[in-house]
Chains A and B, each alone.
Chain A
């Protein structure tokens, strides 16, 4: 079999010491990726749609209590549990190290979401509806998913593609930091950094080599492409 290879391996670094839990990334993602707005009873049934969410943890005992936040999105695992369970190959591995979701292939078995240890895949239980005039702000580059289709974070593949196209039209290589998903672009404290992990000099690669690094559920062996940074500041001596 001819395996497609690519010069890129997209990755993300999230600095948890910078994250303030403001939720700007969640809003930006919603706007960028045509994510439907969930109705109240849908949310009550656990059918809310989001490609990125903020997990909140309490640290310490009252009155010395502190909130910690962890933005959770598709980890784009190199050894992804969601991929082998899809009977129709709608969930597949992209040569650039991304977990692809092909909406027109998806038949809605939801096996992938059930097998995802990070619970980042969401299912369209309803046809999307936008209250007027919000349907005017839909991005033409992103498919509007219909009922019965699984969806998840794509690392803003439309932006990656547009960046690569622009670079190739200008006959140059893609620069580090040129492509940015909506969440990274909007993050006020710049806690989210996106880039090419294959390039050892990219900002994301340098940060990924930090001693503060960890990955979620590393013991599962899913090899996530999202690397979190934590500790080392004045809160964490040694």
Chain B
């Protein structure tokens, strides 16, 4: 009898162990919200979709710099001084301008500290913005589409014969 109970307990423990491991395997490693609520409900669909404004008009440094660049309040204001000034969101924007504060945008495409990602080299290699960022021009609230994990980067680097030396990205 004792032996049976022992075996049952052992069997139960084994099931729990395997089940736990399976659960761990299926749990997403990425727990960040892919589409957080931004301080100003800026719609890429409206700007990049309806009005066909080029990505590079606001993300100005993308061809020259590692960072694509988030536009400053002055750039937003250069248009919105005249356009849709009565809208409540634009009034919110004007408040940032008046107080001289920066808009606390929540970063969605965040790479770890040990990754070096130069935007300009990818633009030079003619990688479309949407390849990593998704069809932003159809999103009212931007959502992260790509996983941005290392295997995902390497797949593209291998396909396009880009460097796969560790020090290409980890410096």
Contacts and interface: CB of A to CB of B under 8 A. Distances in A.
B170 A143 contact: yes
B11 interface: no
Interface stretch (A67-75, A112-120, A154-162, A178-186): A154-162
B120 interface: yes
A169 B120 contact: yes
A102 interface: yes
Nearest to A105: B166
Contact of A142 (B112, B163, B165, B171): B171
A104 B124 contact: no
B34 interface: no
Most A CB atoms within 10 A — which of B112, B113, B120?
Answer: B113
A4 interface: yes
Contact of A92 (B116, B120, B166): B166
A161 B116 contact: yes
Contacts of A168: 121, 124
Most buried by B among A4, A103, A143: A143
The list of the 9 closest CB pairs from A to B, nearest first, reads: A143-B114, A102-B166, A104-B114, A157-B171, A100-B167, A158-B171, A102-B170, A157-B167, A94-B167
B13 interface: no
B154 to A, nearest CB: 13
B46 interface: no
25 contacts: A4-B163, A4-B164, A4-B165, A94-B166, A94-B167, A96-B165, A100-B165, A102-B166, A102-B170, A103-B114, A104-B112, A104-B170, A105-B166, A143-B114, A143-B170, A143-B171, A144-B113, A154-B167, A157-B171, A161-B168, A165-B121, A168-B121, A168-B124, A169-B121, A169-B124
B121 A98 contact: no
A176 interface: no
A232 interface: no
A220 B71 CA distance: 56
A154 B171 CA distance: 9
A177 interface: no
Interface in A137-158: 141-144, 154, 157-158
A74 to B, nearest CB: 14
A95 interface: yes
Nearest to A6: B165
A18 to B, nearest CB: 29
Interface string A60-99: 0000000000000000000000000000000010111010
A144 B118 CA distance: 18
Of the candidates B112, B164, B165, the one having the most CB atoms from chain A within 10 angstroms of its own CB is B165
Given A143-B114, A169-B120, A100 B164 contact: no
B65 to A, nearest CB: 10
Given A104-B112, A169-B121, 15 more contacts: A4-B163, A4-B165, A92-B166, A94-B166, A95-B165, A98-B167, A100-B167, A104-B114, A142-B171, A143-B171, A154-B167, A158-B171, A161-B168, A165-B120, A169-B64
A76 to B, nearest CB: 12
B114 A94 contact: no
Interface in B15-65: 64
A104 B120 CA distance: 24
Contact of A143 (B113, B124, B166): B113
A143 B129 CA distance: 26
B120 to A, nearest CB: 6
A158 B66 CA distance: 12
Interface in A159-201: 161, 165, 168-169
